[in-house]
Structure 1
Amino acid sequence: MGFVDYVQAIIDGLLFGTTYSLIGIGFTLVFGVMHKINMSYAAASLAGAYCGLIGPQMLGLPPWSVFPLSIVAAGVIGYVIYLTCFRFIPLASPLATLMSTVGMLLLVDEIVVHATAGMPQNYPAIYDGDPIELGPFILRADLVGVFLICVVAMAVLLALLYRTRLGMATRAVAQQPVAAQLCGMRLQAVNGLTFVVAGLLGGVAGAMIGASVGMLSPLIAGTITVKGLIVTVIGGLGSIPGAIVAGLLVGAAENLFQAVRNVTERDIYVMLLLFAFLVLRPGGLFAAARGRD
């Protein structure tokens, strides 16, 4: 392999890395608002992508309908997870909520396995056009489409957080939940809507992962969960810009490691990258500044 091949691998990784960014943002949203980790988030996102297949496979809808159906289904699943794993469980017991989401992760995974008989499902591409040539580099049309849709989803989320009343309420609850309640904000409603927004974002990520790979498999859930947690830690817990940058970094590094070594060793080097950050910069790329509370 030459220099061009390495750069090509990095470019492909950056394009796909936006899906990791979306998963990392979903973890970050829930952690930032409730200070809890939702371990079932990635599995729920992929479950939403599976639900989207009901449209073309069972209802006779056009193939493109899988994408809006996946997003809506993931939002509904996200709210169900909030009701079952957070709403009625004492938040003062962090282990209880953590174990409940681990149980939900296993439950969602088992439902998907039984519904599909454990067989991979074909997933339509977001765009099946000719590759784009940029000098010696070639950009896959489907990956470019995935990249653009993920970027639009991030832009919509940032506009929601910083330009709407819901975003203001979400940021207020994340900073000082008691003070937010004293100002008249309904804490449970804001938390529930946060899970819905995170679920919608996860639906986009799950659909884009299926579109870029060309299929969905129950084996993907565990891998995407680990990658999402890695992105969250590298970016800095609670930092949305950190999750975006870390997702691109992990995507590029993963594809470069695969090109240099092989696919069987790819995840080993991604874990080593995580260990390097935990040792050298444990707070992540965008660590929150320490100060008086």
Structure 2
Amino acid sequence: MDYFLIIDFVQSLLDGLLFGTTYALIGIGFTLIFGVMRKLNLAYGAAALAGTYIGVAATFAFDAPPPVVFLLSALGSGAIGIVVYYCCFRFTPTHYPMASLLASVGMLLFIDEVVIHASHGMPLPYPSVFREATIELGDIWVRGDLLFVFFICVVAMAVLFWLLYRTPLGLATRAVSQQPRAAALCGIDPTRVNLLTFGLAGILGGIAGAMTAAAVGVLSPIIAMGLTVKGLIAVVIGGLGSIPGAIIGGLLVGAAENVFLMLRGVTERDIYVMLLLFLFLTLRPGGLFGSTAGRD
């Protein structure tokens, strides 16, 4: 194999792994909500995008620095996540699981239309950091902005694991996820846990949306669908309900996406990512870390 082709392959693989942490965060958000409520929130990617627009609005209104923009994006997505919970999940009938799913689809379309009308469908510049910085490792270059994206996403994952396994909120969340009725009998309010879970997942989505826009340098309404689809693919590959699986799945999706971009170009990249999803659904439908155990 040609030496330069190998270098291009390794470079694409490295960039994809660094950027794949954003898909991992989206996958974790899907997994958190599904783990607690056993329901999919298809408006999750749109909520992450809308929060990112809240952050970029601060740039035009107050000329806010990038850290403030990133923080506002995360908090804005968390707030929108709570709104999505009340509108699509809190009051839908529990005996009709499709109600919340269809409601979240409607919310996805609604948020997407609001964003398109607010931005006139035009891409907006988004602040990024360390764009000109690079680390040279022989013939391989590590982009400073992607390294920053990777660092922020890893820190967010570490904080999430600390919350889940070292705080009362994490204990309550895991209790509701495993046995909601028993948790309620022990004095844990499932509604409050669900609300906080949607807020926490929204913050993770806002970080992922902000880092995606920061890596690209622009913010566009089409990011919502990409985040939703790639996050769901990461969840399916990793195993629905598994947070480590969502992380591994997100990294695999990011790496595969970038490698396919190098080999087949931007017009065919997503086709092969979807084929990767079909391959997992056929050969390993439970995902890499999915559980095949039945109900007790």
Smaller-chain TM-score bracket:
over 0.9
Q: What letter matches 1:206 in structure 2? A: G
Give the match for residue 281 of structure 2: 278
Give the match for residue 70 of structure 1: 73
Across the aligned residues of Structure 1 and Structure 2, the Cα RMSD in angstroms comes to 1.0
Spell out the pairing of 1:176-215 with structure 2 (5 A cutoff).
176-215=179-218
Spell out the pairing of 1:6-155 with structure 2 (5 A cutoff).
6-155=9-158
Q: What letter matches 2:91 in structure 1? A: F
Deviations 1:174-210 (A, max 9, x none): 1110010011000100000000000011111010001
Q: Distance in 1 between matches of 2:177 and 2:66?
A: 39
**How high is the TM-score relative to the length of structure 2?**
0.97
Give the match for residue 235 of structure 1: 238
Contact 1:64–1:124 (8 Å) recurs in 2: no
Q: What letter matches 1:79 in structure 2? A: I
How far off is 1:91 after superposition? 2.3
Structure 1: unaligned runs, 5 residues or longer: none
Contact 1:126–1:208 (8 Å) recurs in 2: no
Structure 2: unaligned runs, 5 residues or longer: none
**How many equivalent pairs are there?**
293
How far off is 1:46 after superposition? 1.1
- C-alpha change, 1:40 and 1:287, in structure 2 (3 Å) is same
Q: Distance in 1 between matches of 2:104 and 2:8?
A: 41
Deviations 1:139-163 (A, max 9, x none): 1100000000000000000110011
Q: What letter matches 1:100 in structure 2? A: A
Q: What letter matches 1:188 in structure 2? A: T
Identical amino acids, percent of aligned pairs: 62
- SS of the counterpart of 1:218? coil
Q: Distance in 2 between matches of 1:91 and 1:228?
A: 25
How far off is 1:291 after superposition? 4.7
How far off is 1:221 after superposition? 1.2
